[in-house]
């Protein structure tokens, strides 16, 4: 939870800096690219987040890896994370920053959890219905969880719409347990 609060503050600061510089979309794309590089090279991430390498070398490594390839505001931001010893939260920061950029563009992120992948037409229909419900454009993030058994659970921020078979069975079980049996 603490990392999430920290990530939120840093993401908001990056959003403000990128917006002020007029490079919000470029920064979002660059940050996603940085995450792809870290995904492809876990050793680089361990090196950057671990205590084995001093701050100056980390900054030099970041400059060599990303300087000239990503928005300068992002390189400065990554250097700030090194200075503040917060590079270990870079993934949470990037996730929150991406969410904030979506909000800035009028999108709402909704996580849809199902037991099996949804067909494309159902995804589009669900996004359209959620858009009508919220009055915003909706970006779906899909999650698979066989434990839901069937149906759909949609999470939008702190709002949950749970239409899964598992939840319905749990409600039925609770009702039966409370029923007056004679």
Q: Where does the pLDDT of residue 28 fall: very low under 50, low under 70, confident under 90, or very high at 90 and above?
A: very high
- In which band, very low, low, confident or very high, does the pLDDT at 181 lie, cut at 50, 70 and 90? low
Whether pLDDT at 134 is above 90: no
Is the whole model's pTM more than 0.85, yes or no? Answer: no
Q: Which helix (H) or strand (E) holds 111?
A: strand 107-114
Element at 171 (helix H, strand E)? helix 165-178
Q: What is the mean pLDDT of residues 51-60?
A: 91
Of the chain, the percentage scoring pLDDT greater than 70 comes to 97
The model's confidence at residue 182, banded by pLDDT at 50, 70 and 90, is: low
Most confident by average pLDDT, 10-14, 100-104, 129-133: 10-14
CATH code of 138's domain: 3.40.30
Q: What is the dihedral of CA 69, 72, 78, 83, to 10 degrees?
A: 140
Please, what is the Cα angle at 104 between 92 and 74, to 5 degrees? 50
Are 32 and 115 within one domain?
A: no
pLDDT at 142 over 90: yes
**Nearest-CA neighbor of 34 among 90, 109, 97?**
90
Q: What is the mean pLDDT of the chain?
A: 91
Domain range enclosing 95: 2-103
Of 50, 84, 103, the last residue of a domain is: 103
Considering the domain architecture, whether residues 38 and 91 belong to the same structural domain is answered as yes
Rounded to the nearest 5°, which phi and psi values hold at 129?
A: -65, -40
């Amino acid at each position: 939870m603490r990392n999430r609060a920290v990530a939120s503050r840093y993401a908001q600061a990056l959003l403000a800096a990128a917006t002020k510089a007029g490079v919000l979309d470029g920064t979002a794309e660059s940050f996603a690219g940085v995450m792809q590089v870290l995904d492809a090279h876990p050793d680089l991430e361990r090196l950057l987040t671990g205590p084995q390498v001093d701050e100056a070398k980390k900054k030099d490594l970041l400059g060599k890896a990303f300087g000239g390839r990503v928005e300068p505001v992002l390189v400065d931001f990554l250097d700030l994370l090194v200075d503040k010893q917060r590079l270990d939260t870079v993934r949470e920061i990037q996730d929150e920053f991406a969410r904030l950029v979506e909000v800035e563009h009028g999108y709402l992120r909704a996580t849809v959890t199902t037991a099996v992948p949804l067909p494309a037409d159902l995804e589009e229909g669900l996004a359209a219905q959620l858009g009508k419900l919220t009055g915003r454009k909706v970006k779906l993030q899909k999650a698979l969880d066989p434990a839901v058994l069937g149906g759909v659970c949609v999470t939008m921020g702190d709002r949950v719409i749970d239409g899964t078979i598992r939840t319905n069975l749990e409600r039925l079980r609770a009702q039966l347990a409370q029923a007056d049996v004679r």
